[in-house]
Structure 1
Amino acid sequence: MPFPLSPRTIDAIADIITGGPGMGGAPPPIGFYRSGPQIEKFMRSCNVAFQVTGSRVPALVSCLMAVNNGIEPEKVLPRIIEAAADPRDFAAEPERHTAVIDHLNRALQSDGFELQSQGQRVRLVVSGHSTPVVEQLSGIVGTISFDTVRRDLDRALASIEADPEDAITAACSTIESVCRSILIELGEPLPGKKDVQGLFNAVKRPLGLAPERSDLHSQIADDVRTTLGGLATVIQGVGALRTHAGDAHGRERGYARVDARIGRLAIHAASTVALFLIETWQRKFPARDLLRHDDPA
């Protein structure tokens, strides 16, 4: 990610976290007004040590500038920005959340970033680097009971720039979680080999995705078999990439085998596969209850 951020963006982040100076006659805050102790608590939740000395707004700006110009700001600032725009804090005031996103994005655009809503979260991404399939998958796993899928996808998206090796591992886990979730929902046994290829092979039969199926129209049979074979190849490739370039099996200190491009490739490929599997499951079993387990029946 292109860090450090501009001073204008740092000021915008401080605006949201502090709620502004809070002086009489000032316009209402875009974010929430936070007292000094509340700002300290917010920063602690982001794993940043901070203590207000003097005025709370200048103190926070100084802290953010220190992070911005410090070591690995790409690992710390996204966490702070995403926490400041967490939609869960604005559940009762969605219009305020929209104003927060707009305020931050106006500043972030000059730094080449944007905040995007992805399911029940917002993510800081490089402008133009999200895709409709990732956004659609993020949305769909926010409404069904596949909680582990959402966590794996969130982890992949959060790691894509700062830790692409971890993003690849999480992308592969996203497919695995979809397959496991579908098998569990259908009461099917999990395979003995629970890697991504073993799980996909187990889910093909109940979903009717085996290339050797014989119920296809003659005009499209070969095309469908070719496409399903390609789907298996993509899954095999993501699994191999996880083994050879991900961090699931450890990695050498200070050695990066891949860059963010390959991390994005893995996430986009995994998201396409995961979305197709979920939509196939929904189409084949439309009577299934797709509510999240913590939603009222």
Structure 2
Amino acid sequence: MKIELSEQSIDALAEVISGGSANESAPSIGLYRQAWRLEAWFKAFGITFGSQRESRLSATKTAIREAIFIDNEVLLKRVIEGAADPRDFIAHPDRDNAVVEYLNKHLFYDGLKLEPMGRGMCLVELAETASVTGELTAMAAGIDFDTASRDLDRALRAASTDPEIAVTAACAVVESVCRSILMELGIQFPAKQDISGLYKAIREPLGLDPTKEGLAPEIVNDVRAVLSGLVTSVQGIGSLRTHVGGAHGKEKGFRRIDPRIAKLAIHSASAIALFIIETWQLRYPGRDLPLDPIDALTGAAPLPQ
């Protein structure tokens, strides 16, 4: 992972780790650590903390720059993750999320993000998004439906390094949207809750039939063909996940899929999910989509990395 911290991110990191200047009237976003605690904190990472020559806050920035100077990105990654270690906020649980949000606002511009991983935090690279995936992410954020954006983010990050996981996550994007719609409408889930079964279950409630859309007669067949193409794409994404998805074991001699195919699945799933959400908003204005029940049961556990 390539880590290049901006000065603003270094300042934010130092603020969180040190707890800010002792002379500040406003409370710091982080937890105030005395000099001897900061020395012990950095010593755990093998970094020198020289508070004798500088103020606590300045010495913290110097220690962070030492980690950068060492050119050990594994070390710097550990420092950033350590700054948001949830164990430090057991007595201050209200500050835990605030610290992560504060750091992520700065790390975003460095192409980085802190995410929950197991019992701690993990620093990951942000994936570049194309227009359709970016629009879906913005849409999901706007309706507070973070399940889709979380799956999409994992799919994009894994596309080049682990395309099988990316396909699994892309499939999960569509499945999450479909399950949430069925849950909100009180419709019983289909016996087979794969992507094809779930998509089929929402087609009637959402009125995905061009003859019911009030379309001009000359384009009804054209729209029907496009909708048929969506069904084909859904089936293809589901089959791809079944055959190569990261949820399955890989036997000896397994041949990895081309990252291009994984990205094609991601963008196809994004277009399908975006269309479903926009149709939902048209048919049921003002109604929110609930949290995907699968995520509710699992505690929104991340997919394998």
Normalised to the residue count of structure 1, the TM-score between the two structures is: 0.64
Rate the CA distance shift 1:10–1:254 in 2: closer, same or farther, 3 A: farther
Are 2:38 and 2:49, in contact at CA under 8 Å, matched by a contact in 1? no
Aligned to 2:48: 53
Aligned to 1:68: 73
- Separation in structure 1 between the aligned mates of residue 196 and residue 104 of structure 2, nearest angstrom: 41
Q: Which has the larger radius of gyration?
A: 2
**CA displacement at 1:124 relative to structure 2:** 3.8
**CA displacement at 1:228 relative to structure 2:** 0.1
Are 2:180 and 2:289, in contact at CA under 8 Å, matched by a contact in 1? no
Rate the CA distance shift 1:163–1:279 in 2: closer, same or farther, 3 A: same
- Separation in structure 2 between the aligned mates of residue 254 and residue 282 of structure 1, nearest angstrom: 46
Rate the CA distance shift 1:23–1:50 in 2: closer, same or farther, 3 A: same
Aligned to 1:119: none
Rate the CA distance shift 1:91–1:53 in 2: closer, same or farther, 3 A: closer
Unaligned 5+ runs, structure 2: 23-28, 51-59, 86-96, 114-122, 293-305
Unaligned 5+ runs, structure 1: 25-30, 44-48, 109-113, 117-121
Deviations 1:154-184 (A, max 9, x none): 4324434443321221110110010010111
**Alignment pair present for 1:270 and 2:266:** no
Report the 3-state secondary structure (helix = DSSP H, G, I; strand = E; otherwise coil) of the residue aligned with 1:207. coil
Are 1:18 and 1:39, in contact at CA under 8 Å, matched by a contact in 2? no
Paired amino acid for 1:279: E
**CA displacement at 1:33 relative to structure 2:** 9.2
Range moving further from structure 2, 151-160 or 241-250: 151-160
Report the 3-state secondary structure (helix = DSSP H, G, I; strand = E; otherwise coil) of the residue aligned with 1:194. coil
1:187-226 equivalences under 5 Å are: 187-210=186-209, 216-226=215-225
Are 1:18 and 1:33, in contact at CA under 8 Å, matched by a contact in 2? no
Are 1:16 and 1:32, in contact at CA under 8 Å, matched by a contact in 2? no
Are 2:170 and 2:269, in contact at CA under 8 Å, matched by a contact in 1? yes
Are 1:144 and 1:291, in contact at CA under 8 Å, matched by a contact in 2? no
Aligned to 2:175: 176
- Separation in structure 1 between the aligned mates of residue 193 and residue 291 of structure 2, nearest angstrom: 24
**CA displacement at 1:271 relative to structure 2:** 1.2
Are 1:40 and 1:51, in contact at CA under 8 Å, matched by a contact in 2? no
Aligned to 1:280: 279
- Separation in structure 2 between the aligned mates of residue 23 and residue 288 of structure 1, nearest angstrom: 46
**Alignment pair present for 1:17 and 2:13:** yes
**Paired residue total:** 256
Aligned to 1:240: 239
Are 1:134 and 1:268, in contact at CA under 8 Å, matched by a contact in 2? yes
Aligned to 1:89: 98
Aligned to 1:153: 152
Are 2:148 and 2:177, in contact at CA under 8 Å, matched by a contact in 1? yes
**CA displacement at 1:202 relative to structure 2:** 0.7
Rate the CA distance shift 1:68–1:51 in 2: closer, same or farther, 3 A: closer
Are 2:136 and 2:273, in contact at CA under 8 Å, matched by a contact in 1? yes
Paired amino acid for 1:18: A
Deviations 1:122-151 (A, max 9, x none): 98445xx31232222222223436453344
Report the 3-state secondary structure (helix = DSSP H, G, I; strand = E; otherwise coil) of the residue aligned with 2:205. helix
Rate the CA distance shift 1:61–1:240 in 2: closer, same or farther, 3 A: farther
Report the 3-state secondary structure (helix = DSSP H, G, I; strand = E; otherwise coil) of the residue aligned with 1:165. helix
Deviations 1:219-277 (A, max 9, x none): 11111111001111111121122122320112258967135443332222111111110
Paired amino acid for 1:238: I
Rate the CA distance shift 1:262–1:16 in 2: closer, same or farther, 3 A: farther
- Separation in structure 2 between the aligned mates of residue 287 and residue 251 of structure 1, nearest angstrom: 44
- Separation in structure 1 between the aligned mates of residue 38 and residue 139 of structure 2, nearest angstrom: 34
